[in-house]
Protein backbone atom coordinates (compact mmCIF):
# COMPACT_ATOMS: atom_id res chain seq x y z
CA UNK A 1 0.00 0.00 0.00
CA UNK A 2 1.38 3.40 -0.94
CA UNK A 3 2.35 5.78 1.83
CA UNK A 4 0.58 9.10 2.30
CA UNK A 5 2.75 12.15 2.85
CA UNK A 6 1.77 15.71 3.75
CA UNK A 7 4.05 18.48 2.46
CA UNK A 8 3.82 21.93 4.02
CA UNK A 9 5.01 24.76 1.78
CA UNK A 10 5.51 28.44 2.62
CA UNK A 11 4.70 30.34 -0.56
CA UNK A 12 6.55 30.44 -3.87
CA UNK A 13 10.10 31.74 -4.23
CA UNK A 14 13.29 31.34 -2.23
CA UNK A 15 13.46 34.87 -0.77
CA UNK A 16 9.88 35.19 0.51
CA UNK A 17 8.34 31.72 0.22
CA UNK A 18 9.15 28.09 -0.42
CA UNK A 19 12.40 27.28 -2.23
CA UNK A 20 11.06 26.09 -5.58
CA UNK A 21 13.87 23.68 -6.44
CA UNK A 22 13.67 22.02 -3.02
CA UNK A 23 9.89 21.80 -3.21
CA UNK A 24 9.85 20.27 -6.69
CA UNK A 25 12.67 17.83 -5.92
CA UNK A 26 10.74 16.69 -2.84
CA UNK A 27 7.49 16.25 -4.76
CA UNK A 28 9.28 14.48 -7.62
CA UNK A 29 11.05 12.03 -5.35
CA UNK A 30 7.87 11.26 -3.46
CA UNK A 31 6.09 10.56 -6.75
CA UNK A 32 8.97 8.40 -7.99
CA UNK A 33 8.70 6.35 -4.82
CA UNK A 34 4.96 5.85 -5.28
CA UNK A 35 3.80 7.99 -2.37
CA UNK A 36 0.45 9.76 -2.30
CA UNK A 37 1.08 13.45 -1.62
CA UNK A 38 -1.02 16.39 -0.49
CA UNK A 39 0.41 19.90 -0.23
CA UNK A 40 -0.64 22.30 2.52
CA UNK A 41 0.11 25.91 3.46
CA UNK A 42 -1.18 28.41 6.01
CA UNK A 43 -3.85 30.81 4.79
CA UNK A 44 -1.99 33.94 5.92
CA UNK A 45 -0.32 36.96 4.38
CA UNK A 46 3.38 36.73 3.53
CA UNK A 47 5.70 38.71 5.77
CA UNK A 48 6.66 40.69 2.66
CA UNK A 49 7.12 40.27 -1.09
CA UNK A 50 10.58 40.21 -2.66
CA UNK A 51 11.40 41.00 -6.29
CA UNK A 52 13.46 37.91 -7.11
CA UNK A 53 15.16 39.70 -10.00
CA UNK A 54 16.54 42.58 -7.92
CA UNK A 55 16.30 41.24 -4.37
CA UNK A 56 14.38 44.33 -3.33
CA UNK A 57 11.15 44.43 -1.35
CA UNK A 58 7.99 45.20 -3.30
CA UNK A 59 5.06 47.32 -2.15
CA UNK A 60 2.41 44.62 -2.36
CA UNK A 61 0.87 41.82 -0.32
CA UNK A 62 0.52 38.16 -1.22
CA UNK A 63 -1.17 35.20 0.47
CA UNK A 64 0.94 32.17 1.37
CA UNK A 65 -1.74 29.63 0.45
CA UNK A 66 -2.42 31.26 -2.93
CA UNK A 67 1.29 31.54 -3.74
CA UNK A 68 1.87 27.91 -2.73
CA UNK A 69 -0.77 26.90 -5.27
CA UNK A 70 1.71 27.94 -7.99
CA UNK A 71 4.05 25.11 -7.00
CA UNK A 72 1.27 22.64 -6.17
CA UNK A 73 -0.47 23.27 -9.52
CA UNK A 74 -3.54 24.38 -7.58
CA UNK A 75 -3.76 21.21 -5.49
CA UNK A 76 -3.11 22.69 -2.06
CA UNK A 77 -5.18 22.86 1.11
CA UNK A 78 -5.21 25.11 4.15
CA UNK A 79 -2.91 23.59 6.77
CA UNK A 80 -5.84 23.78 9.20
CA UNK A 81 -7.28 20.88 7.18
CA UNK A 82 -4.18 18.72 7.75
CA UNK A 83 -5.33 15.82 9.90
CA UNK A 84 -2.50 13.59 11.07
CA UNK A 85 -4.61 10.43 11.01
CA UNK A 86 -4.84 10.69 7.20
CA UNK A 87 -1.06 10.66 6.63
CA UNK A 88 2.00 8.54 7.34
CA UNK A 89 4.66 11.28 7.28
CA UNK A 90 5.27 15.03 7.00
CA UNK A 91 7.92 16.93 5.04
CA UNK A 92 8.77 20.66 5.05
CA UNK A 93 11.01 21.98 2.26
CA UNK A 94 12.99 25.15 2.94
CA UNK A 95 13.16 28.68 1.60
CA UNK A 96 13.00 31.96 3.50
CA UNK A 97 9.23 31.48 3.70
CA UNK A 98 9.85 28.94 6.48
CA UNK A 99 11.61 31.66 8.49
CA UNK A 100 9.23 34.46 7.45
CA UNK A 101 5.78 32.92 6.90
CA UNK A 102 5.76 29.62 8.82
CA UNK A 103 7.60 31.29 11.70
CA UNK A 104 9.31 34.56 12.62
CA UNK A 105 12.76 32.96 12.82
CA UNK A 106 14.12 35.46 10.28
CA UNK A 107 13.34 38.29 12.69
CA UNK A 108 13.51 36.69 16.13
CA UNK A 109 16.11 33.93 15.79
CA UNK A 110 16.27 31.85 18.96
CA UNK A 111 13.22 33.72 20.34
CA UNK A 112 11.06 32.74 17.37
CA UNK A 113 7.56 31.33 17.38
CA UNK A 114 5.95 29.09 14.78
CA UNK A 115 2.69 29.99 13.01
CA UNK A 116 -0.02 28.38 15.14
CA UNK A 117 -1.67 26.18 12.49
CA UNK A 118 1.67 24.91 11.18
CA UNK A 119 2.90 24.18 14.70
CA UNK A 120 -0.27 22.30 15.62
CA UNK A 121 -0.02 20.15 12.50
CA UNK A 122 3.67 19.35 12.97
CA UNK A 123 3.30 18.61 16.67
CA UNK A 124 0.47 16.21 15.88
CA UNK A 125 2.86 14.15 13.73
CA UNK A 126 5.52 14.25 16.44
CA UNK A 127 3.02 13.15 19.10
CA UNK A 128 1.77 10.33 16.87
CA UNK A 129 5.32 9.08 16.33
CA UNK A 130 5.12 9.61 12.59
CA UNK A 131 8.31 10.64 10.74
CA UNK A 132 9.02 14.25 9.82
CA UNK A 133 11.51 15.48 7.24
CA UNK A 134 12.88 19.02 7.58
CA UNK A 135 14.87 20.48 4.69
CA UNK A 136 17.26 23.46 4.47
CA UNK A 137 16.20 26.12 7.04
CA UNK A 138 13.13 24.14 8.18
CA UNK A 139 15.07 22.40 11.00
CA UNK A 140 15.10 25.80 12.71
CA UNK A 141 11.54 24.89 13.75
CA UNK A 142 12.55 21.54 15.28
CA UNK A 143 12.75 22.63 18.91
CA UNK A 144 9.29 24.19 18.80
CA UNK A 145 7.94 20.98 17.26
CA UNK A 146 9.74 18.38 19.39
CA UNK A 147 11.12 20.21 22.40
CA UNK A 148 14.65 20.69 23.70
CA UNK A 149 17.20 18.00 22.98
CA UNK A 150 16.11 17.25 19.42
CA UNK A 151 18.98 16.65 16.98
CA UNK A 152 19.01 17.98 13.42
CA UNK A 153 21.18 19.81 10.88
CA UNK A 154 21.35 23.16 9.18
CA UNK A 155 24.59 22.24 7.45
CA UNK A 156 27.57 24.06 8.90
CA UNK A 157 28.01 24.33 12.66
CA UNK A 158 29.29 27.87 12.12
CA UNK A 159 26.05 29.06 10.51
CA UNK A 160 24.22 31.62 12.70
CA UNK A 161 21.05 29.58 12.26
CA UNK A 162 22.81 26.58 13.81
CA UNK A 163 23.88 28.71 16.74
CA UNK A 164 20.29 29.89 17.19
CA UNK A 165 19.06 26.30 17.08
CA UNK A 166 21.41 25.39 19.91
CA UNK A 167 20.39 28.48 21.87
CA UNK A 168 16.80 27.22 21.66
CA UNK A 169 17.86 23.91 23.20
CA UNK A 170 18.39 21.83 20.09
CA UNK A 171 21.44 19.76 19.22
CA UNK A 172 23.02 20.71 15.92
CA UNK A 173 24.97 18.13 13.95
CA UNK A 174 27.10 19.32 11.04
CA UNK A 175 26.24 17.61 7.76
CA UNK A 176 27.43 17.67 4.17
CA UNK A 177 25.04 18.60 1.37
CA UNK A 178 24.57 15.06 0.11
CA UNK A 179 23.82 13.53 3.49
CA UNK A 180 21.09 13.45 6.15
CA UNK A 181 20.94 13.60 9.93
CA UNK A 182 18.48 11.33 11.69
CA UNK A 183 17.18 11.71 15.23
CA UNK A 184 15.88 8.18 15.73
CA UNK A 185 14.15 8.93 19.02
CA UNK A 186 12.01 11.62 17.38
CA UNK A 187 11.76 10.07 13.88
CA UNK A 188 13.17 13.33 12.51
CA UNK A 189 15.27 13.45 9.34
CA UNK A 190 16.99 16.64 8.15
CA UNK A 191 19.31 17.68 5.32
CA UNK A 192 21.05 20.99 4.46
CA UNK A 193 19.97 21.36 0.79
CA UNK A 194 20.48 25.01 -0.21
CA UNK A 195 21.98 25.89 3.16
CA UNK A 196 25.06 24.39 1.47
CA UNK A 197 24.14 23.38 -2.09
CA UNK A 198 25.86 25.12 -4.98
CA UNK A 199 23.66 23.49 -7.62
CA UNK A 200 20.26 21.87 -8.01
CA UNK A 201 21.97 18.48 -8.33
CA UNK A 202 23.69 18.96 -4.98
CA UNK A 203 20.40 19.96 -3.37
CA UNK A 204 18.73 16.87 -4.84
CA UNK A 205 21.40 14.51 -3.52
CA UNK A 206 20.44 15.14 0.10
CA UNK A 207 16.72 15.69 -0.46
CA UNK A 208 16.33 12.38 -2.28
CA UNK A 209 18.08 10.61 0.58
CA UNK A 210 15.81 12.38 3.10
CA UNK A 211 12.63 11.44 1.24
CA UNK A 212 13.75 7.84 0.94
CA UNK A 213 14.51 7.62 4.66
CA UNK A 214 11.26 9.29 5.71
CA UNK A 215 9.34 6.77 3.62
CA UNK A 216 11.32 3.91 5.17
CA UNK A 217 10.35 5.15 8.64
CA UNK A 218 6.68 5.60 7.74
CA UNK A 219 4.13 2.92 8.47
CA UNK A 220 1.57 2.81 5.62
CA UNK A 221 -2.14 3.04 6.24
Pick the CATH number of 4-217 from 1.20.1250.20, 3.40.50.880, 3.40.50.920, 3.20.20.150: 3.40.50.880
pLDDT in tens, 112-145: 999 999 999 999 999 999 999 999 999 999 999 9
Active-site residue numbers?
Answer: 136
In this prediction, residue 45 carries a pLDDT of 95
In this prediction, residue 59 carries a pLDDT of 95
Kindly report whether the global pTM for this prediction surpasses the value 0.85.
yes
So where are the chain's domains?
4-217
Burial of 76 (0-12, 13-18, 19+ CB in 10 A): buried
In this prediction, residue 24 carries a pLDDT of 98
In this prediction, residue 219 carries a pLDDT of 83
In this prediction, residue 221 carries a pLDDT of 56
Which residues are CB-contacts of 121 (< 8 A; sequence separation ≥ 6)? 6, 8, 40, 79, 82, 84, 90
* pLDDT-flagged residues of the chain (< 50): none
For 163, phi and psi rounded to 5 degrees?
Answer: -65, -40
Amino acid sequence: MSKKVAVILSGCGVYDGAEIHESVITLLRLDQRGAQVQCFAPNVAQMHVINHLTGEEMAESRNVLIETARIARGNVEDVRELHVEHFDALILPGGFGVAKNLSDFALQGADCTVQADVLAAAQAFAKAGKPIGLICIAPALAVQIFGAGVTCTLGSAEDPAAEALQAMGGTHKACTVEDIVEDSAHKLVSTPAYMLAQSIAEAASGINKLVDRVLELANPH
